[in-house]
Amino acid sequence: MSALKTRVLQVNPTAPEPALIQEAAKILAAGGLVAFPTETVYGLGANALDTKAVDSIFAAKGRPASDPIIVHLYDLAQLPTVAINIPDLAYDLARHFWPGPLTFVLQRSSNVPANVSAGMSTVAVRMPSHPVAIALLQAANLPVAAPSANRFARPSATTAAHVLEDLDGRIDLILDGGAAVIGVESTILDLTKEQPTILRPGGITLEILRTIIPDVEVVTKHLRADDEGIEAPGMLLKHYSPRAELLLFNGIQSALLPAMRTYALQQIEQGRKVGLLLPDHEQSSVADLPVEIVNLGSNASEVGHNLFSAMRLLDQASVDVIMVHGFGQTGLSLALWDRLLRAAEGHIIEV
Ligand code: TXA
Ligand code: MG
């Protein structure tokens, strides 16, 4: 692809400057690519109604055409333009959770080009809550297709610097509105089947969704690239991967750190550079090891906020192996577990 000059504009995250937003909206209207902050991660936006513009998202990311893209709206009134046969439940849920980190899979309207949805008859839709995202969507007055603004299979971008690292020269503009607060992507809820199903755990938790949909289910199996009958192509196990090999430790709390220490020492003996991702309270127990350590913070929200940037930091430190453990599987930690499992490509070390 021919190299573009990628511009970065600093924008006020809470009160975005109208002139800057207008400039970005014009690029979208002209079929260009604009990366922008959302409350979850940075998105790489294009006019969702423009087949060519959507194609250029796939090209810029190096994303396979089989991986569908989420359409972003700023107003519930736009929903019938992109989806058909919308169930009442979608409107109920939208009233509770939009704008916010919840994506619905609905039946696709023919207004939305097939490449947005990788040829499927469905479309994923969400309304982000970040003021910059809302302002941009409003100014463009278009549904905007936006995957996470990272190169395919890399950790999602949570800052403008991450976007630049992955996509410099491949997109027109980055609106830099600071770090994305949540740090993990939206919850994806399939509403096209009898049984509402979470395809990807995220910012809106299973427990919260159960208060509105008591029988909501979660898809627990993660498909491998060679599996047949892929339901949601983004469920491919290899995803969110740092360059280093990532090892996910799982087991009872008291056994985790001792096992990670032992494993780290073995790796170091073999001449490998080791990186550890650990929460705040576990930092001191590995302080004596010659390893790179990144502090993930002291609770699930902080870990979510820091996780992808921590993976990128360890990549920059050129570690060969990254070791991390899970944080349980309730609340936001289920989304963290999902991202860690994918980054580890399914390789779990049970202790
Ligand atoms: O928080 C988010 O959702 C971020 C921000 C930018 O909004 N976006 C995001 O997009 O994470 P992306 O492309 O990285 O992940 C979207 C995933 C796809 O990988 C795919 O699994 C799923 O959404 N998806 C999209 N359309 C779908 C559809 N029609 N049916 C099932 N899954 C779909
Ligand atoms: Mg993504």
- Confidence band for 56, pLDDT divided at 50, 70 and 90: very high
Share of the chain above pLDDT 90, in %: 90
Q: Ligand 1 test: best mutation among 38, 184, 188, 198, most atoms within 8 Å of CB?
A: 188
Ligand (nearest to CA of 35): 1
pLDDT for the residue numbered 225: 41
**CA 211 to CA 97: how far, in whole Å?**
12
Is it the case that residue 47 has pLDDT exceeding 70? Answer: yes
- Matching residue, tokens 């949805």: 117
- Matching residue, tokens 């996509």: 167
- Confidence band for 224, pLDDT divided at 50, 70 and 90: very low
Residue nearest to atom 20 of ligand 1 (CA): 234
CATH of 7-218, one of 1.10.150.250, 3.90.870.10, 1.20.140.10, 3.40.50.9100: 3.90.870.10
* Global pTM value: 0.95
Count of beta carbons in the 10 Å neighbourhood of residue 249: 20
Does ligand 1 have an atom closer than 6 angstroms to the CB of 78? no
**CA 125 to CA 32: how far, in whole Å?**
20
**CA 5 to CA 7: how far, in whole Å?**
6
Residue nearest to atom 10 of ligand 1 (CA): 147
- Confidence band for 305, pLDDT divided at 50, 70 and 90: very high
Q: Give me ligand 1 centre to Cα 147, in Å.
A: 6
DSSP string, 204-249: S-HHHHHTT-TT-EE------TT-SS-SSGGG-SS-S--SSEEEEE
Q: Ligand 1 test: best mutation among 38, 39, 61, 70, most atoms within 8 Å of CB?
A: 70
- Confidence band for 241, pLDDT divided at 50, 70 and 90: confident
The domain spans of the chain are 7-218, 245-350
Mean pLDDT of all residues belonging to the chain: 94
pLDDT for the residue numbered 2: 60
What CATH code would you report for 245-350? 3.40.50.11030
Q: Ligand 1 test: best mutation among 38, 54, 69, 84, most atoms within 8 Å of CB?
A: 69
For residues 266-272, give the mean pLDDT.
Answer: 97
For residue 28, give the 3-state DSSP assignment.
helix
